[in-house]
Chains A and B, each alone.
Chain A
Amino acid sequence: MAAAMAVRALRALPHIRIPALPASCSLHTTPPRLKTRAARVRVGKGDKAVTYEKAHPPHYIAHRKGWLSLHTGNLDGERCAAQRAVEDSFVRRFLHGTFPGCLADEAVLKRRSNSLLVCLLLLRRLPPSKLCFLLGYAETLLSHLYKCPVRIEAQTVPDAAVYKYL
């Protein structure tokens, strides 16, 4: 009993191989490799087109990348950074659903005093009148949801700009 507990305790530590005791069934494990996987596109066969934004992992922010969401919540003495983060993620999901398949890249959200500026890069998949409809709809709905003026500045591109293939 104590031996089994000791075996389990030892097994919890990484990098230690212990032979299985006959009284307990065990898994064969390899030493776990703790890799960071955040915001990284893994290298594949070379057919995945990747934009500049996606190709750079997050440690390149402020070196090769800018920020996708700009607000003053993280400055000293400022509050409500978490609320801004929640609002941002909602807005991104909303835009992803409202413009189906038309987003060429992540939206950039900027907050200037009271207003929220959404800078979108859209593909030319829909006819322009439908895009105008969706833009008017999104602006009004987001304004009413967040009780602040929301302006969408959209730019259309024929194709998403590919930075490299991974």
Chain B
Amino acid sequence: MPEYITKSFSPRFSFPQDPTAAHYMFHDDPYLMPKNSATARLFSLSKESGRNAAKYIIKEFPHFFDKILAEPNIPSLMPEICTPQIEGVSEEALRERINLRMVKASVDLFDQLLQAGTSISLETTNSLLDLLCFYGDGESTQEKESEEKEDLEESEVNASEQETPKRPPQRGSHPFASRWRENNNAERIFKIMPERNAHSYCTMIRGMVKHGASAKAYDMYTELLNDRHKADVHTFNALITAVPFLKDRFLERWELIKMFLNHMAQQEVQPNVQTFNAVLKTLRRCGGVGRSMAVPVIKEMEALEIEPSLATYDHLLSIFYRSADLASSGIISEVLDDVEKRSFTPQDPDDAKFFISAMQVCCDLKDIKLAYRLNKAVEKGDNWKFLDMDRLNSYWSRFFSLLCMMEQIDVVLKWYKEMSPSLFYPSPKNILDFLQALDAANHLEMIPSVWEDMKQLGFSKRRDLLEEVLSLMSRDQHPEEIQLAFAKCAEDIKTVHEQSGRDQASVEWTGSALGSVTVLFSRAGRTQDAWSMMERFQQINRIPTDLVMDEFLNCAKQTNSPDEAIKLVKLAASLGLPSSQKLKSRVEKEFKLSENQKKALESIQSDSDSSDSDSDSDRD
């Protein structure tokens, strides 16, 4: 075990060295530094959106920014030329607009050219088709925003369904999930093309798959075959990804994939890494068939000497570790063997998900050694680049949960001090796991410092965490100074419950929380505070448990306050609790009472007798 620790904490460790500093992208100021993962995400996104706002201004008013001040000129700081320079109706103008990604303008110009009777070369028409299929007949997002404002856009339906890259994708399948309309511009232009080559068909197929018209894509593919053209590798990749939408049953899907692969071989198209990634991605949705076919696919990949990318491994892991029956394969260690050796470059958009899913698998398998190996793999070469700030947070959050479950407490504490808050911000689940680890290792005296961390992270109003903290503190008796520290912590929690901020609702007391706080106050000898807690029980319509009342009596005895004891008995009697008799006899026996107090005690007895009939015993 120790060598993993020393290796991970070696100076080679490329993660931030300063354990108290936040990520370098944030301003180094206590007000502007994020405290938990939600604020970290918010601040980084607001900074990025500020940059985008500036870029928008620069794009809208380029004449303010085009003076050349630097020698030599810095092209990245100059505004881009976004308006077309060539006027008039000609093919060069059309080409320029296609380069500038102006979808609507290019379509209009194309129509004008056709009406004027000029013939347009096949290449230009193909590039126009490329543009249309990429954007799915809506506009690119920049255009969409300005055109929405100008209210000119006729394909508003499509534009409104397209989402800016920052908002989370609402549709499951594609990030740009605008729907392919019937007879939209791309189809129309395709139909009126006098001659088409393979490129035209391929573009149409890829566009249709991207925007969800899988059946049409398949039909287009059969047309391509009928016209005796050859598709290229990207088209085949797109078709393979569309297979789950074409067929429902697992075997049929696999048969269709095999058919496409055979066609590829016939047309002598070389597969690339994305082909195999697409195959594996489809196999993920093929259940048992996927599991049996995945390994042969990998072997085929090796035979063709194609290096797998991280997305390949990601798909493999999710094929084999999807269901609850996890122990069936040891594929994760083989995957880690491969990943550890290499430094990866991004080849597939799904690459970035690998490390998170691998860490999730380690957590599910409860294997800490695998997790350490995975950490080493992340450190190697350029692999750290696959984890951006968001993913870094969830990766280390899962790792920490695994640590709390599996490791000794001193290792956990060391990691905790090193990692938070610089590397990741603990989530509420992490704090719960950490508390359980402390409990298992009998280190409950650390709870007040964990409470301080919780306050800093902004979790001080979360009821589940508060309950956990209070119940752990009040469960057992502890030595003196720990008890005092616990009581201070309980007082803090009490103020949290009671403060009613301007727009925050105060946290409601629950019976167990109130009981725990009372117990903690009693054990620390703070009788007055404990009594004020007892009075609250009636406010929230709850009944204190026997333990709570016993503890209170102990406390009263220690601090020699028989008045409080009598008040307790009165309270118990008024609530009609069956234990009030026991309490009364205890008070009589253990306390030195004056005459008045003895009389008061006697009078309580008579009260309880009469109210016995309507005792309502709803204990929480």
Contact A128 B58 (CB under 8 A): no
The closest CB in chain A to the CB of B79 belongs to A144
The closest CB in chain B to the CB of A152 belongs to B27
- The stretch of B10-18, B42-50, B149-157, B467-475 in contact with A is B42-50
- The stretch of B66-74, B198-206, B537-545 in contact with A is B66-74
Contact A136 B77 (CB under 8 A): no
Contacts A144-B54, A144-B58; A136 near B48 (Cβ below 8 A): yes
B31 on the interface (CB 8 Å rule)? Answer: yes
**Which residues of chain A are near B258, meaning CB under 8 Å?**
none
Contacts A132-B32, A132-B47, A148-B70; A141 near B57 (Cβ below 8 A): yes
Find A136's partner among B46, B70, B73, B78 (CB 8 Å cutoff): B46
Q: Which of A132-164 contact B (CB under 8 A)?
A: 132-141, 143-148, 153-156
Contact B49 A154 (CB under 8 A): no
B62 to chain A minimum Cβ distance, whole angstroms, is 10
A126 to chain B minimum Cβ distance, whole angstroms, is 10
Contacts A136-B54, A141-B54, A145-B65; A154 near B48 (Cβ below 8 A): no
Give Cα A124–Cα B30 distance, bound, in whole angstroms: 11
**Which residues of chain B are near A136, meaning CB under 8 Å?**
46-51, 54
**Which residues of chain B are near A134, meaning CB under 8 Å?**
50
The closest CB in chain A to the CB of B73 belongs to A147
Find B64's partner among A124, A133, A145, A153 (CB 8 Å cutoff): A145
Q: Name, among B47, B48, B69, the residue most crowded by chain A CB atoms within 10 Å (CB to CB).
A: B47
**Which residues of chain A are near B26, meaning CB under 8 Å?**
132
Contact B53 A154 (CB under 8 A): no
The closest CB in chain B to the CB of A149 belongs to B77
Give Cα A134–Cα B27 distance, bound, in whole angstroms: 12
Contact B77 A128 (CB under 8 A): no
Contact A128 B31 (CB under 8 A): yes
Contact B51 A147 (CB under 8 A): no
B510 to chain A minimum Cβ distance, whole angstroms, is 32
B268 to chain A minimum Cβ distance, whole angstroms, is 49
**Which residues of chain B are near A146, meaning CB under 8 Å?**
69
B55 on the interface (CB 8 Å rule)? Answer: yes
Find A137's partner among B42, B50, B64, B79 (CB 8 Å cutoff): B50
Count of interface residues, chain A, beta-carbon cutoff 8 Å: 25
Interface string of B290-307 (1 = CB under 8 A from A): 000000000000000000
**Which residues of chain A are near B73, meaning CB under 8 Å?**
147
A112 on the interface (CB 8 Å rule)? Answer: no
Give Cα A155–Cα B33 distance, bound, in whole angstroms: 11
**Which residues of chain A are near B54, meaning CB under 8 Å?**
136-141, 144
A129 on the interface (CB 8 Å rule)? Answer: yes
**Which residues of chain A are near B39, meaning CB under 8 Å?**
128-129
A42 on the interface (CB 8 Å rule)? Answer: no
Contact A129 B42 (CB under 8 A): yes
Q: Name, among B42, B43, B50, the residue most crowded by chain A CB atoms within 10 Å (CB to CB).
A: B50
B29 on the interface (CB 8 Å rule)? Answer: yes
Q: Which of A35-89 contact B (CB under 8 A)?
A: none
Q: Which of B68-117 contact A (CB under 8 A)?
A: 68-70, 73-74, 77-79
A77 to chain B minimum Cβ distance, whole angstroms, is 18
Give Cα A138–Cα B54 distance, bound, in whole angstroms: 7
Give Cα A156–Cα B30 distance, bound, in whole angstroms: 8
Contact A133 B47 (CB under 8 A): yes
Q: Which of A17-35 contact B (CB under 8 A)?
A: none
Contact B27 A132 (CB under 8 A): yes
Contact B32 A131 (CB under 8 A): yes
Contact B77 A133 (CB under 8 A): no
Find B46's partner among A129, A141, A144 (CB 8 Å cutoff): A129
Find A141's partner among B31, B47, B58, B74 (CB 8 Å cutoff): B58
**Which residues of chain A are near B29, meaning CB under 8 Å?**
154-156
Interface string of A101-131 (1 = CB under 8 A from B): 0000000000000000000000010001111
Q: List 14 A-B contacts (CB under 8 A).
A: A124-B31, A132-B32, A133-B46, A138-B50, A140-B55, A140-B58, A141-B57, A141-B58, A144-B78, A145-B64, A147-B68, A147-B73, A148-B69, A154-B27
Interface set of B (CB-CB < 8 Å, partner A): 26-27, 29-32, 39, 42-44, 46-51, 53-55, 57-58, 64-65, 68-70, 73-74, 77-79
Interface set of A (CB-CB < 8 Å, partner B): 124, 128-141, 143-148, 153-156
**8 interchain residue pairs of minimum CB distance:** A136-B50, A140-B54, A137-B50, A136-B47, A133-B50, A147-B70, A156-B31, A133-B46
Q: Could you list 17 further interchain pairs (A-B, Cβ under 8 angstroms) beyond the known A136-B48, A145-B65?
A: A124-B31, A129-B46, A132-B26, A132-B27, A132-B47, A133-B53, A136-B46, A141-B57, A143-B77, A144-B54, A146-B69, A147-B70, A147-B73, A147-B74, A148-B77, A154-B32, A156-B29
